Amino acid sequence: MREASSYPLIRTDQLTKCYRAGRAEVHALRGVTLTIERGEYVALMGPSGSGKSTLMHLIGCLDSPTSGTCEINGQDIARLNDVELARLRNREIGFVFQTFNLLPRLSALANVQLPMIYAGTRPRERTRRARELLTLVGLEDRMTHKSNELSGGEMQRVAVARALANQPALLLADEPTGNLDTRTGQEMMALFDHLAEQGNTIIVVTHDAGVAGHARRIIRLRDGMVEAE
């Protein structure tokens, strides 16, 4: 059996997703086939309804396909049970959401440690790594502040640090600058550029051409299909 690293990080083949809306069927994805290798920095672009968010949910193991395959590190997500999917999400995928999704009453340090608690990391090690990550994203002087005491840009930096906590194979960002002002958004994308230079695999879902311009590869979706690269 091949090592996981010998597989593409992400491979989809004729991936489809249909939703039911009453008696109607909504075809969110219509046969998407693509491969993303380790170390790539990719932007998924498309207008509303193009299927980019649905594709993100499937790649992030947050949903299951209707047909076709979606493989992460050689594992077909449709063949995994809920426990296996949760383990794959926790260990292999780091999420950065537009709305940050931090726990407001916890400090930045505690928020970053949460994924490591679920992964069973020892307390001393998770504290060390959380401090290291918050320093990486430029928040070494804000570690003890609760997330509701931070600015939007600072909260997004905490979210990035949290996403990197378990050293995931993939960093998946959904409109990461959507709730940030222009200057803070530019700072956030500079951080993503730095992470990409360090070899992290990054997929950014966006409708913003300026954000997509930071990626080294742009995949454009329309009507649930890959329109262009």
* pLDDT, tens digit, 9 for 90 and up, residues 68-94: 999 998 999 999 999 999 989 988 999
DSSP 172: E
Residue 2: is its pLDDT beyond 80? no
pLDDT band at 226 (very low <50, low <70, confident <90, very high): very high
pLDDT class for 97, splitting at 50, 70, 90? confident
Average pLDDT score over residue span 120-144: 95
- Asked whether 222 and 46 are in contact (CB, 8 A), the reply is yes
> What average pLDDT does this structure show over 110-133?
95
Cβ 164 vs Cβ 95: under 8 Å: no
What does the DSSP 8-state code read for residue 111?
H
Across the chain, mean pLDDT equals 92
Q: Please state the pTM of the whole predicted model.
A: 0.90
pLDDT-based confidence at 1, cuts 50/70/90? very low
Q: Residue 17, Cα to own-chain centre: how many angstroms?
A: 19
Would the pLDDT of 121 be above 50? yes
Domains of the chain and any CATH numbers: 4-228 (3.40.50.300)
Percent helix, strand and coil across the chain, each to the nearest 5? 35, 30, 35
Cα→Cα distances 2→7, 20, 71, 86, 167, Å: 8, 38, 14, 23, 22
Q: What is the pLDDT of residue 100?
A: 86
Q: Look at residue 221 and tell me whether its pLDDT is greater than 60.
A: yes
What would the mean pLDDT of 108-133 be, rounded to a whole number? 95
The predicted pLDDT at position 104 comes to 92
Is residue 68 within 8 A of residue 31, CB to CB? The reply is yes
Can you list the alpha helix ranges (DSSP code H) found in 60-122? 82-92, 108-118
Per-residue confidence band for 5, with pLDDT thresholds at 50, 70 and 90:
low
How much is the average pLDDT of 48-55?
Answer: 92
Q: Taking residues 14-36, what's their average pLDDT?
A: 92
pLDDT per residue over 168-203, tens digit each? 999 999 999 888 889 899 999 999 999 999 999 999
